[in-house]
Structure formats: structure tokens, C-alpha cells
């Protein structure tokens, strides 16, 4: 594991601890969520992606900024929370709720769109001694399969195809929690 991955893992521990100390949930998503469900670091990651409820985002931002994190001016905070801890980039997408309390996209042009059922009900993921909440493997698979359909301007990247194979999204792939080479 390289030094950036170690710093990213430290940021994951920090975000989870800060949110947990204040009593609000966060869920790891994206490549790091996959790794935490598989139990190993499978590849280098550019950033660390999270979800939080929109109503918790301002408090999370305040807490992390007070700890020395810096805002990323490239992304409007109305769409998602983007912060840096030194060279570690963290993106927090907002969750909303529909009338029944189910999670929806919390901001942007897709706001109010339902998210996959059971997405927030996954068991925590673990890498070494660090355990954090993650979105479900089924939701991760759905996102990676559907991004090119939902957003044709964003074609599937080779790392997405590799991630789908690691998550067991193809025929005969076996248990999605089994690490792949």
C-alpha cells in the first residue's frame, strides 16, 4: 500500500470518527466502499467518496474545517461537499428523503431521484482494524453498471469494469466479498 492510500485510510477513519462522535451517519461509497466490503485495498484511488444526509452536511463541513481540512473551490457546495486534508480529496454527496423516508439524490439536477433499495443497509466494511459504514455491494454494482446509461457523456472506465468483476457482477464471479487479484 502506498503512502497516499495510507493517508486516504486515515481520512476515512477521521470522517467516520467525527460523524460518529456527533451522532450522525455517513456511508463510504465508490472505490473505497468496494475495498472495505472486500476487505483489501484493490487499487489506487484518486479520492474518497461518502454519502451523508443533506441536513448533516453543514455540521460535517464545520467539524472537518475546524480540524484543518480545506474546501475544494472546484465544486459548488450546493451540489456536494468537497474537501481536502493535505493531498487527500474527499467528496461527500448529499442524500435526501422521499415522503416515505427512503434515500434519494439530495442535490443537483437529479435531486429527489430514488436511490437503490437497501443501499444504506449494508454491514460495515473492514480493512484491517478499521470498520466503517458503506453502501451495499448491490448498490455499488448498480451505480457502476448504470452510470454510462444515466450519463452517456461518462463512458465506463476500465477501473469500473475491473471493479464490477471484483464485486462479482458477472456470471460465475462468485461471492462479491471474495478479493480478486
Number of domains in the chain: 1
156 occurs within a structural domain? no
Write out pLDDT tens, residues 127-145: 999 999 999 998 988 887 7
The answer to the question of residue 179 being in a domain is: no
Give this prediction's pTM. Answer: 0.86
Q: What are phi and psi of 133, to 5 degrees?
A: -65, 140
Quick: pLDDT tens for 148-159.
Answer: 666 667 777 777
Residue 65 lies in a domain: yes
pLDDT at 149: 67
Inside any domain, residue 59:
yes
Residue 69, domain extent: 3-136
In a domain, 170, yes or no: no
Nearest to 83 by CA among 67, 69, 66: 69
> Is residue 146 in a domain?
no
**Is residue 55 in some structural domain?**
yes
d(CA 67, CA 64): 5
Residue that is written with C-alpha cell 467525527 in the block: 18
Each residue's pLDDT tens digit, 95-130: 999 999 999 999 998 899 999 999 999 999 999 999
pLDDT the model gives residue 130: 97
Domain harbouring 109, CATH code: 3.30.460.40
Sign, Cα dihedral of 28, 60, 9, 158: positive
Q: How confident is residue 52, by pLDDT bands cut at 50, 70 and 90?
A: very high
pLDDT value of residue 143 = 80
* 32 φ, ψ (degrees, to nearest 5): -70, -35
Within-domain flag for 175: no
Amino acid at each position: 500500500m502506498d503512502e497516499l492510500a495510507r493517508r486516504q485510510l486515515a481520512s476515512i477513519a477521521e470522517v467516520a470518527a467525527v460523524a460518529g462522535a456527533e451522532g450522525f451517519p455517513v456511508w463510504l461509497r465508490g472505490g473505497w466502499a468496494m475495498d472495505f466490503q472486500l476487505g483489501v485495498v484493490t487499487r489506487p484511488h484518486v479520492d474518497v467518496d461518502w454519502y451523508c444526509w443533506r441536513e448533516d452536511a453543514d455540521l460535517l463541513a464545520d467539524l472537518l474545517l475546524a480540524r484543518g481540512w480545506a474546501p475544494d473551490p472546484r465544486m459548488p457546495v450546493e451540489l456536494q461537499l468537497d474537501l481536502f486534508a493535505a493531498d487527500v480529496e474527499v467528496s461527500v454527496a448529499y442524500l435526501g428523503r422521499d415522503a416515505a423516508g427512503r434515500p434519494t439524490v439530495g442535490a443537483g439536477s437529479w435531486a429527489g431521484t430514488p436511490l437503490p433499495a437497501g443501499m444504506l443497509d449494508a454491514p460495515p466494511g473492514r480493512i484491517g482494524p478499521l470498520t466503517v459504514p458503506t453502501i451495499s455491494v448491490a448498490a455499488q454494482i448498480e451505480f457502476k453498471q448504470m452510470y454510462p446509461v444515466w450519463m452517456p457523456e461518462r463512458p465506463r472506465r476500465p477501473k469500473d469494469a475491473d471493479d464490477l468483476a471484483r464485486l462479482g457482477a458477472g456470471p460465475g464471479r462468485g461471492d462479491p466479498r471474495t478479493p480478486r487479484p
